[in-house]
Amino acid sequence: MTAILKAHLVFSEIEKTLLEIISKYCQVTSIHTTIDKAILWSKNVGGDNPDLIMVNCVEYFKYDQDKAEKIDFLKQIYDIKSNQPKTRIVLLLPEKVFYDIQLIKEILEADIYNFWFLDNFNEEDIIKFIFSKRSLNEVEEYLRSKEKDKNNRGLRDFSMLKKLHKEYEPYFVKPNIVAFFSEDDSILNYALATLTALEIAERGFKVSLVETICSIPRLASILSVDHPYFNTRHAVTMYAQQNNEFIKNCLFNKEIYLNDENSTCRNSYIENYPLGLYLLPDGIRKDNFNLLDLERYWRDFIMELARITIFEKDFSFLIFICQGNNSINNLLMNNVANIKFLTVSMLPGSIAYGINERKNGKGKVHIIGNKNIGYISNQLKEMEEAPFLYPPDNFTDEFLEFIYLKKKNNTCHETKDCINRIVELMGIKKKNSGKEGLSRMKKFLNL
């Protein structure tokens, strides 16, 4: 077989026979005898990056490790991952650490899905190591099958996977990544996402509002925060070109925006937004990658953005606005978001789609109908379907006033109650009597 993939190996020692087997399926471009040497290489790499780095971790878990030693090991793996973000990390772990929930959680936090628990392996295993590119779902399937095998052999009498789920689900993110999605009503979808983010930020949370790549960027004009560089397409383009610093700084709040000489809309509007509201609107630039190339890098980009935002930057919420059914939004809905708000029209197909997503979609799915029609609500009740959420009739009118006039003197209680209900569904319990929260919303709707 012609070697296509390039691989680095991190083995304290490797038998000639094993090396020959690995070399049958990939080109071994380097062998590091320690992780420290691999880190040194990853910092000063020259030439082409390898497709994968395979680390035999048996030596590092030869003896029972204390917490500090595990942290050191994980930090070394993180360093390699950080220095080589495009390279797939493959970890070969000994069987005895399979029930180390904290270790698995930390590995998954680093967005490393290709790890294996085994004390010895054969050629068939090596093929899996080299060619497998796991998703989160596939990680869970692997852990489930591995646990089932151990339980069948009577090795343990408790559910490791259940404990891992309890502590972390999905594993690499906290349960506060939210998506607002619609194919039918862009005004209502943007209104719900934008006003919800404003409300959460005003309550003192650190929240980022990200507009996915879309045919018509809208968020920058809605909030008057157009920027030539701080936009989603440019961020993905920079990430694809291995500019790893840009993704760490692409989200901006009012302070960052007003202090940036490249900001194009210097007005008083953004000054009134909460300091904890961070934004990343989509935007179109001639030097950005085309859509096909952006789609190629989207998955890796969004996973890294989520990891940095939630863990490194310690945001409380990451909210995505997804308009339209496409591969970019489908990835967020199926693999990233834990809480989803689907805005549907009252057409039968849209209603059926929403109900199906609520039944079969992952995470918590809430359906928002764009119009409350009595006989449809009655039919849903007869079908024993949970009721939809319905914004008040004047909700979009008030949002349009907010966009164009930046002033809203008579925001109705129904609009505020609608946003507060969504905030509650995101897990934020109201700590005040309600009047204080509503008055703060009024402040930002009376810009």
**Can you give the residue ranges of every domain in the chain?**
6-167, 177-445
Burial 327-360 (b: 16+ CB within 10 A, else e): ebbebbbbebbbbbbbbbbeeeebbebbbebbee
* Cβ pair 207, 278 in contact under 8 A: yes
Helix (H) or strand (E) holding 350: helix 348-360
pLDDT score of 18 more than 80: yes
Share the mean pLDDT of the chain.
Answer: 85
Beta strand spans in 57-169 (E)? 88-93, 114-117
Q: Coil, strand or helix: which one is 143?
A: helix
* Beta pairing class for 177-182 and 317-323: parallel
Do 197 and 319 contact (CB within 8 A), yes or no?
A: yes
Give tens-digit pLDDT for 247-296.
Answer: 999 999 999 999 988 887 656 678 889 999 999 999 988 888 888 889 98
CA dist 423 and 430 (Å) reads 9
Angle between helices 435-445 and 413-425 (to 10 degrees): 110
Q: Which residues of 50-60 are buried (b: 16+ CB within 10 A; e: fewer)?
A: bbbbbbbbbeb
CATH topology of 6-167 equal to that of 177-445? yes
Question: pTM of the prediction?
Answer: 0.62
CATH fold, domain 6-167, is Rossmann fold (3.40.50)
Which residues on neighbouring strands pair with residue 319, listed in sequence order? Answer: 178, 209
3-class secondary-structure state, position 51 = coil
What are the tens digits of pLDDT across the range 96-155?
Answer: 888 888 888 888 877 788 999 988 888 999 999 999 888 776 887 888 888 877 776 666
Q: What is d(CA 155, CA 171) in angstroms, rounded to the nearest whole number?
A: 24
Q: What pLDDT, on a 0 to 100 scale, did the predictor assign at position 444?
A: 38
What's the one-letter identity of residue 255? Answer: E
Instruction: Name the burial class of residue 413, with classes exposed (0-12), middle (13-18) and buried (19+) by CB atoms within 10 angstroms of its CB.
Output: exposed
Q: Does domain 177-445 have CATH number 1.10.645.10?
A: no
User: Collapsing DSSP states into helix, strand and coil, what is residue 424?
Assistant: helix
Identify the band that residue 435 occupies on the pLDDT scale cut at 50, 70 and 90.
Answer: very low
Residue 314 has pLDDT above 90, yes or no: no
